[in-house]
Chains A and B, each alone.
Chain A
Amino acid sequence: MKASYALRRLLSNNYSIQCHTKRTFYRSFLRQTVPLTSLRYPNLKRSGYSALTDKDLSVFEKLIPGRVLTGSSELDGYNTDWLKTCRGSSQVVLRPKTTEEVSAILKYCNERKLAVVPQGGNTGLVGGSVPVFDEIVISTQLMNQIISLDEISGTLVCEAGCILGNLSDHVAESGLIMPLDLGAKGSCHIGGNLATNAGGLRLLRYGSLHGSVLGLEAVLASGEVVDCLSTLRKDNTGYDVKQLFIGSEGTLGLITKASILCPQKPNAVNVAFLGCDSFERVLDIFKESKMKLGEILSAFEFLDADAIAVARDNLKLSIPIDDTFPFYVLIESSGSDGAHDEEKMNRFLEDMMNRGYVIDGTVASEPAKIQYIWSVRERIAEGLMHDGYCYKYDVSLPLSHYYGLVEAVRKRTQGNTTRVIGYGHVGDSNLHLNATSPEYSQTTMDLLEPFLYDWVAKHRGSVSAEHGLGFKKRDFIYHSKSESAVRIMNQMKQVLDPNGILNPYKLLPTVIR
C-alpha cells in the first residue's frame, strides 16, 4: 500500500495534478524587488493615522504573546501582493487566534487611530490585501479551526483563516463540496473569499456567496463583535446584516467566522475540452449546452489561443487536444447518475461535432484526467507571471460584447505588450483579460486605462466581476456604480468605521462625488 501511495504521488507529479505551487513560486519572485506602492503612486498621500511606536508593539505583545511579527525579511511576504504589483511598508504583522484577540487588537488600534489591513492568504488580485503605506497587517493565518459540520444540512462552521482547499478536503469526507472553487484554493483563506465575495469556477451552478453563506461573525473597528453566525437558510428578521461584510473587502469589519451551506458532492462528473474556430461558436455551444445538458451543466469556461499558449509555453503543460484552435471551451457536468450524465454529455458532444460547432475535443470522467484538464484552465494566472508584469482585468460584459474587448485591447496595445489574453467564465459573463510585459510600463498602462474601463462602461459591463476594487480599481467605481450607490457605501463606512482604520485606500474612491 505504501509503495502504491508513493507511486501515485510520482505519477501525479509527473503529468497531472500539479499541486498548487503558489507559495513556493511566491517566494522565488520576491527576490526581484517590487517597487513600493507609495513610490509608484506618488500623488497618493498617507492619511492622518498615528505612526506605530514601541509602546504599541509592547501592547500587542501583551495581547497576543509570541504572535507579533516584526523584521523586514519576515514581513516581505505580507507586504507584497501575489501579483508583485503592490508593496507596502508595514512594520508589524499580528497573528491573533481568537475573535476576542481580534476584538482587543482593533479596539486598541481604533483608540490609537492606527490603520490596519486584514489579510488572509494574500492571493487577492487588486492590491486589496496588502498595506499601501504602513498599515498594520492582521493576518487570519492562525484562526484556522473547523468548528462544526452538519452532514445532514451540509452546514459548515469554521474560522476565517481556514484554507479553502483544506475545507474542501474536510467536507469531501462527508460527501459534500464547498460552494466555491478557485485556482488559489491551496492558499486562499475562506475569510478573504467572503470579504471579497470571490466567484470562481462553481458560481454558475451554486450561485454567489451572498446565497451560500448562512452566517458570519465579524469584528468592527471599535472592537465590537457582530454575531450573525446563523446556520439557518431562512431568517427574515430585519436587515440581513451579514451581507454587508460579504464583498466589503475588509473595509467594514474583519470577518472571524462563517457558516456556509455546502452542496452534496456530485457522484458523476464529466469534463469536456473542446476546440472551435470562432468566438461565435463558443456562444453557440454555450446556448446549446444550457439546453442539452440542462441541470447537469456545472461550469462553462473558455480560453483563447493566447491563453492556451501561456499554459503550453510558460507552464509546459501539454494541451489535451491540438493546440492550434483559436478558441477552447471547457464544459463540466455534475450529477447523481454517471450513466445518465455520460449519455447526455456524449449525445450533446456528438451533436456539436455534427453541426461543426466543435472541431475537435476530448471528454473525461476519470478524476485524474478531469483534474489535469482543469489545471490547464486554473493555472493560467500562475503562468502569466512568468512573462514579468501582469496587467490583470476581471470584467463582466454582456455576451454580445464579451470578446470584443479582448480584440479592442489587443489592437490598441500592439507592440507594447508581450501578449493580451482572454479567458474566463463565459457561463457567468465574466471575462478575465490579461496583458503582460517584461516589466511595468507606464506607456502600456496609459494605453490600457482608462480605455478599457471606458469600453466596459460603454457596453454596460462591470469593471470588477469577482476580484473586487481593492486598491487598484477603486477610482473606477463610478464606471459601474451610480453616485447615489457610492454615497450610501460611504455613509455605511462612516457608521461602522468612523475613524477609517479598516483597510484604508481600498474599495471607496479617493473622492466621493
Chain B
Amino acid sequence: MSALRVLVGCKRVIDYAVKIRVKPDKTGVVTDGVKHSMNPFDEIAIEEAVRLKEKKIASEVIAVSCGPQQCQETLRTALAMGADRAIHVDIDSKDYETLQPIHVSKFLAKLAQDEKADIVIVGKQAIDDDCNQTGQMTAALLDWPQATFASKVEKNNGDLTVIREIDGGLETIKVKLPAILTADLRLNEPRYATLPNIMKAKKKPMAKKTPSDLGVDVASRQEIVSVEDPPVREAGQKVESVEELVTKLKDSGLV
C-alpha cells in the first residue's frame, strides 16, 4: 500500500488555562473576548499525524476545523505544526452555538471520502463539551473500524496496531485501513511550532467549505436547558480531638 493520507479534526476551544465563566442567563459559557486555542487532544492528534508523515507512513496531513472564522487561527497552528493543508468548514456563529458531534462527524465523514483519506484522527474528546462522540460517530457513518483512546500507533503491513487506554490497563488491537483513531493524552507530547514553520504555514493552502457544500444539515438536534457552575466547595472544619471528629462524623451520619 502506498503512503497514507491522514485527515485530522482540530476543534477550537477555550484555552485550558482560562477560567470558565457561565453566562448570566445560563444558556452557555462566555466566549467573547476569551482566549481560545486548539483542543489539546486534537493537538495530540495533529502531532501523531505529523509524526506518521515524518516516518514516511503518511504522505499528506489535512487539518479540518468546523466553526466560525476564527477557526482559521486554529488551523494555522495545525499547519505550523506540520499539516500540509487545511479545510475550514465555515459555520455561522448562530448555527455554531448548537452544533453537535453528529454534525461534525458528518462533515468529517464526507471530507474523508472526498479527500480519499486512509486515516482520520481526532482527539478523544474536546475539553469544552467533553462529548467523546465525534470519532465514534464518524466511524459509524463511514462504516470504518475505529481505535479509540489510542496511546500508541504502529503500522504493520496493511494494518495499524494500536494500544488503547482502557480501565485498569492497556489493550492492544489491530485495525484494518481505512480507520478512525481517537487520541488519548499519552499518545505523544505535541511540539511547539518553530518560527520557520510558523512562517511557512502562512503560505499553505486553506480551503473553505460550507455545510451545504458538504450536504450536511446543521439544524439543531437538541435544546440547552441550562448551564450551571459546578457547586462551590464548602470550607472545611478543624477539630481539636479524635473524639470530636468521631462525634461529628456520627452526627452527620457518615459513620
Contacts and interface: CB of A to CB of B under 8 A. Distances in A.
Interface of A: 1-5, 7-8, 10-12, 14-17, 267, 273-274, 318, 320-321, 346, 349-350, 353, 358, 360-371
Contacts of A321: 192, 194
B193 A5 contact: no
Contacts of B16: 8, 11-12, 16, 368
A361 B192 CA distance: 9
A1 B230 contact: yes
A369 B228 contact: no
Contacts of B193: 362
B43 to A, nearest CB: 10
A363 to B, nearest CB: 7
Interface stretch (B58-66, B83-91, B153-161, B195-203): B195-203
A267 B32 CA distance: 12
Contacts of B18: 367
Contacts of B245: none
B229 A1 contact: yes
A183 B61 CA distance: 40
Contacts of B194: 321, 360-362
B227 interface: yes
Contacts of B129: 4
Contacts of B37: 366-369
Nearest to B186: A14
A58 to B, nearest CB: 21
Nearest to B190: A15
Contact of B35 (A2, A273, A361, A367): A367
B142 interface: no
Given A14-B185, A318-B189, A366-B37, A1 B196 contact: no
Closest 6 CB pairs of A and B: A366-B37, A367-B17, A320-B192, A362-B192, A368-B17, A2-B230
Contact-residue bracket for chain B: 20 to 34
A194 B34 CA distance: 33
Contacts of A370: 17
Interface string B172-194: 00000000000001000100111
A366 B15 contact: yes
Contacts of A371: 17
A16 B193 CA distance: 16
A366 B35 contact: yes
13 contacts: A1-B228, A11-B16, A14-B185, A15-B189, A274-B195, A320-B192, A321-B194, A360-B195, A362-B192, A362-B193, A366-B37, A368-B37, A370-B17
Contacts of B114: none
Contact of A4 (B33, B127, B196, B198): B127
Contact of B230 (A5, A11, A364, A366): A5
B185 A11 contact: yes
A10 B192 contact: no
B216 interface: no
A1 B127 CA distance: 9
